[in-house]
Each structure stands twice: as structure tokens, then as C-alpha cells.
Structure 1
Amino acid sequence: MDTGSGRSTNAPRPEGKASEGALGTGCVHLCIDMQRMFAEPTDWQTPWMNRVLPQVCRLAAAHPERTIFTRFIPAARPGEGRGTWATYSQRWAAMTRERLDAGMIDLVPDLARLVPPAEVVDKTVYSPWLETGLDARLRARAVDTLIVTGAETDVCVLAAVLGGVDLGYRIVLATDALCSSCDAAHDALLLMYRMRYGHQVETMTTAEILDLWH
């Protein structure tokens, strides 16, 4: 961490490489917000979600009983929420639950059919770790590793990854199963993970993950 008053002129410190061992019984696939309201034409559409969906489906279908889907639940009405979330729901009034078709909050159909045995965790903020009991559920199952996929790389996926790192989980990002509405931010986040979080965050393709996940 740079605690100086100016920009560091030193080259980035190489981060220790995380273990790339097999992904066994302590591994769960955490799939972030692959919902219809992000896949279909809305104010929040993520244009290339459908492009990465086949890779997400491959991972989820490989071990549906070890897959947890999160869903972002918008505010009920404009102005609802604490602090800046109130102005956020005003800014995106068309995406509040009183104006949005209820079915748009659902997972995309190709993933919804896997529930159960896959599980769903609902959240009202970017992070899946706040007020959801997710960490306790994972610890009860002796989970120590999370394969992370979903949307968006630079928003809710970012919150899931950094929260998971803080809680001590080994994080494996499926690079071809992530999407964003901002290409530059997506690319920047993948670069940041590789350069600054190498001891705790690994980046692999879906095929590489499936080769290791037994």
C-alpha cells in the first residue's frame, strides 16, 4: 500500500503467486448477478453478457450442487435506500421494483433451470457478503475456494472478490466468464488482479478451471 503523499515511482512489487492446485470439495462456484435485467434491453443492460453466458453455464452445469447464484434486488421505489443508495434509486427510477417487470429480477433461463440443486442468494447492495449470511453458509460447508463468474467485473464482481479476499478465501476468476458494460474497466480490473492480488486471486479460463475442478 502506498502511504506516501505523492505517486510512487517504483516498479510494482511482484505479488506472491497463489496456489494453482486442484479445485476439490472445498470449492464453490459463486456466480454474480446473471439476471434478465442485465441480459435484456433495460437501462442496466450489459451488452456482452450473452457472449460469456455459455462459459458460465459450463461451470454451473458441471457442479450445480456446488454453485451459488447471487441476484441484485433493486430498491422497491425511487428514493428508497440508505445514504447514496437513495439517490441511486432515484437516478435509476426505471429499474426500481415498482416500475420493473418482476420477472426481470430472475436469473437468465439457462441458469435458473439449475436451481435447485444450485442455490440463490439475494442482495440489495453490490457485495454478496453484507446481511446475507453467505460467509457462514460457506464456512458450514468447509468451503475455502471460490470460482467467481458473472457481472459486472468492475462493480458487483469486484465487491464479491475483495470481500472474499478479506475473508480469506482463495479466489479463482474465470476470465472468459466475466462481463462488464465498460471494456476499459473490465481490462483494468483483470490487470489489477494479476499485478496486485496474485497471492489471493488467480485468473484462469473456464477450460482450465474445469480441468482442475474434481
Structure 2
Amino acid sequence: MGIPTPADTDALPNGPLDAATVHLCVDMQRLFAEETAWHTPWMERVLPRVRELAERFPERTIFTRFVPAQRPGEGRGNWRRYYERWACMTIEQLGAERVDLVPALAQFVPPATVVDKHVYSPWLEPGLDRLLRERQVETLVVTGGETDVCVLATVLGAVDRGFRVVLATDALCSSSDQTHDAMLTLYQQRYGQQLETATTRQILRNWT
């Protein structure tokens, strides 16, 4: 699966995490965890580590949810063709309950917060940015899926907005091992000045 081994030291490159930090968990939902066309098989394997972070800081956890089109043919531009291809993943055919967070994480809401989005990036709708500004957040600890799709869109938007971003490498998942590994290499080698990667254990030890 390509998850990096822990570093020799627990210290994070840019210092400890403080009260201006939020755990941003991307799309840990039933429509990816269950037997659907978008099933992410090893979401279940990273779930305990995502849950550990949410359990430690529920009031500082934000969950995003990817909300598909209501029915085939809806959406703007290429999204319309997308949902013609993935008609089985529209809410009309899936059922609205499949958009829910997996039960092991849904129990933390509230005090954890949920932000819905209709595309890969959570930054194209105002809810997340507004919430982070209101809370005076400076650092995002990112978990969830998929490493090479919605996590990628989330991370790049966070970098553009100047957030410190810490990726929990053992709390990320994808339906493709190959592109998951490639993305971790990309994050670590091409964004080394703007992204930090660490294990969940390292993050928890550095978050005061």
C-alpha cells in the first residue's frame, strides 16, 4: 500500500500544532466505504486512524462530504456527462443516506462540523473558507480520501490560500495503490516547502 514508515523523530518540520489547527477529513462517506461503483476498498483500513484524530479533537474536526447529482444528466458542462456515465452513483439511484459519513465518524457530529460540496474541491463553495476564517484557523491536518482526487483538490486549494498543511500519511486512502503512492511522492518531493507529511502518531504527539 506504500504508506511511509515513521520518521526517526516525532518533531514536525514547522513545529508543533496549536489551537489554530483543524482536522480536515475529506469524504469518509458511506458511498465510498460500502459496495458501490465508487467503493474504496482500504478506506476501512485507515478509518481507525482517522477516528483517532476525530476522537481526540472532535470540536476541531471538519468533515467534507461529496454530494453527487440528484439524477443522471444534471450538472454543469462536463459534470453532466460525468453523471450520465455514473448514473448509478446519483442520489436518485443511491439513496440520500449513502451521502452520510461512515457511522464511526458520524457520531462525532456535533461538535464536529460537516461541510458539503458538489465537486472535488471544497473551496469552490463558500462554506469551508468562511468557517475557517471565523475560527481563525492557520493549519489543516488532512485525512480521508481519495489521495489522488478529492484530497488532492483540497490540499492544492489550501496551499493557494496560505494554510499550513500537514498530511496524515497513514490516514489517507485511494482506490488505486499506484496513484496513491505517486501522489505521496508528489506531495513530499514537489511540495516540500508547503506540505508536511507525518503519521497519525506524530501528529497527535505534536498537537497540544
TM-score band by shorter chain is over 0.9
Alignment of 1:6-85 (within 5 A): 19-85=13-79
Number of aligned residues: 197
What is the identity, as a one-letter code, of the residue corresponding to 2:138? Answer: D
What is the identity, as a one-letter code, of the residue corresponding to 2:16? Answer: A
Name the TM-score, length of structure 1 as normaliser. 0.90
| 4+ aligned runs moved over 6 Å, structure 1 | none
CA deviation profile, 1:120-156 (whole Å, cap 9, x unmatched): 0000000011113311211221101000000100000
Deviates more, 1:126-135 or 1:22-31: 126-135
RMSD of aligned residue pairs (Cα, Å)? 0.9
Name the TM-score, length of structure 2 as normaliser. 0.93
Q: What SS does the aligned partner of 1:21 have?
A: coil
Where does residue 4 of structure 2 map in the other structure? none
Q: Distance in 2 between matches of 1:133 and 1:19?
A: 30
Aligned residues of 1:70 and 1:121 also touching (Cα < 8 A): yes
Aligned residues of 1:121 and 1:132 also touching (Cα < 8 A): no
Where does residue 205 of structure 2 map in the other structure? 211
CA deviation profile, 1:75-121 (whole Å, cap 9, x unmatched): 01101001110000111000101111221110000100000000000
Unpaired runs of 5+ residues, structure 2, are 1-11
What is the identity, as a one-letter code, of the residue corresponding to 2:160? Answer: D
Q: Distance in 2 between matches of 1:124 and 1:102?
A: 14
Pair member with larger Rg:
1
Q: Distance in 2 between matches of 1:132 and 1:175?
A: 27
Q: Distance in 1 between matches of 2:131 and 2:36?
A: 33
Aligned residues of 1:56 and 1:150 also touching (Cα < 8 A): yes
Unpaired runs of 5+ residues, structure 1, are 1-17
Question: Cα distance, 1:199 vs. partner?
Answer: 1.0
What is the identity, as a one-letter code, of the residue corresponding to 2:22? Answer: V
Where does residue 191 of structure 2 map in the other structure? 197
Instruction: Give % identity.
Output: 65
